[in-house]
Amino acid sequence: MKREEKILSDYLSANNLKFTQQRKVILDAFLSLEHHVSAEELYDKLKKKDYGIGLATVYRTLNIFSSCGLAQQRQFGDGQSRYEHEVDHGHHDHLLCQQCGKITEFENKHIEELQKEVAKEKGYVVFTHKLELHGLCPDCAS
Amino acid sequence: MKREEKILSDYLSANNLKFTQQRKVILDAFLSLEHHVSAEELYDKLKKKDYGIGLATVYRTLNIFSSCGLAQQRQFGDGQSRYEHEVDHGHHDHLLCQQCGKITEFENKHIEELQKEVAKEKGYVVFTHKLELHGLCPDCAS
DNA sequence: GTGTTTGCAAATGCTTTGCATCCCT
DNA sequence: AGGGATGCAAAGCATTTGCAAACAC
């Protein structure tokens, strides 16, 4: 059994929820897609395979994935939520192209240390952060 | 005439738009409120004064403010947009309390320099950025 | 005057919910 | 058997849009 499947399965049984066909199918589709998937995109992918899974179920399932740490929900300002895999995919931030919509990930330990300092100065206890750099990707910039 | 009023007035005439009563009233109310106002909050404030201004007009006007640089639109993930004054209020980032919703601003030149380095490494041209630190404010943390 | 703006209500787009039925455990 | 899960359609929100009347220039 895949690691992600075990995480989901454990979470479900711990909360008296059920490991249904749909949840398994949606998990596989979610993992097979690139990062930053919207509910609609996931639903479209499933529709092609004729599983008869409804959009509402996709939303409900993605919320479960968020709750058990399999996915992280993000909003980049285009009006819809996007979901990212969390397992085997450590924390990172995003570069976003305003023209073509491309999303590039990056990580910078030094920035994160400075964030901690800022939080400390202001007396905050910080659990997570979001950093987005908006501009043009290499292709669109040239 | 206030500086903000001149900015709006210039923008409107440059675009063949009109400086209406409503736009003036909404501008004053916007400036009088704290930062990070939602359209609904601004509308509620105006409703109390019985100007008869509709919510649609508030949205339309806030979009104009965004276009002429008087306001910046932000989404903190609670499902609605918030608008900030931009004039006399340089760039900054945010600390957000998950418990009470308090928003604290900060600025850190060093972090911004590192962001530029990251962008350069990845070949991006960056125009703006958003950095949010999510956690507990001093009051809620204790 | 004329073309923009307004308020209202209706429409939109994303997401959630109610409900009868279905399916895990 | 029984309580959670599903699909569908309807409801909810925040935001936008269509339209006739009102207004700025």
* Mutant choice from B103, B118, B121 vs A, greatest count of A C-beta within 10 A: B118
Res. A120: pLDDT tops 90? yes
pLDDT in tens, A25-57: 999 999 998 778 999 999 999 998 888 999 999
Mean pLDDT taken over chain B: 90
- From B30's Cα to the closest Cα of chain A, the distance in A is 22
Q: What CATH class is the domain B3-85?
A: mainly alpha
pLDDT in tens, A63-77: 999 999 899 888 887
pLDDT average, residue stretch A109-116:
93
Q: A95 to chain B: which residues are within 8 Å by CB?
A: 118-119, 122, 124, 126
pLDDT confidence of residue A96: 87
Same fold, A3-85 and A93-141: no
pLDDT in tens, B47-69: 988 889 999 999 999 999 999 98
pLDDT confidence of residue B87: 65
CATH for A93-141 is: 3.30.1490.190
DSSP string, A56-108: HHHHHHHHHHHHTTSEEEEE-SSSSEEEEE-TT----EEEEETTT--EEEE--
Share of chain A above pLDDT 90, in %: 58
Q: Which residues of A fall below an 8 Å CB-CB distance to B? A: 75, 77, 95, 97-98, 104, 106, 108, 110-111, 114-115, 118-119, 121-138, 141
pLDDT confidence of residue B88: 60
pLDDT in tens, B89-123: 667 889 988 878 788 889 999 999 999 999 999 99
Res. A89: pLDDT tops 70? no
pLDDT confidence of residue A90: 67
DSSP string, B60-125: HHHHHHHHTTSEEEEE-SSSSEEEEE-TT----EEEEETTT--EEEE--HHHHHHHHHHHHHHT-E
Q: Yes or no: say if B51 and B107 are a contact pair by the CB < 8 Å rule.
A: no
pLDDT confidence of residue A87: 64
Domain spans in chain A, listed from the N-terminal domain onward: 3-85, 93-141
pLDDT confidence of residue B23: 97
Higher pLDDT, residue B15 or B2: B15
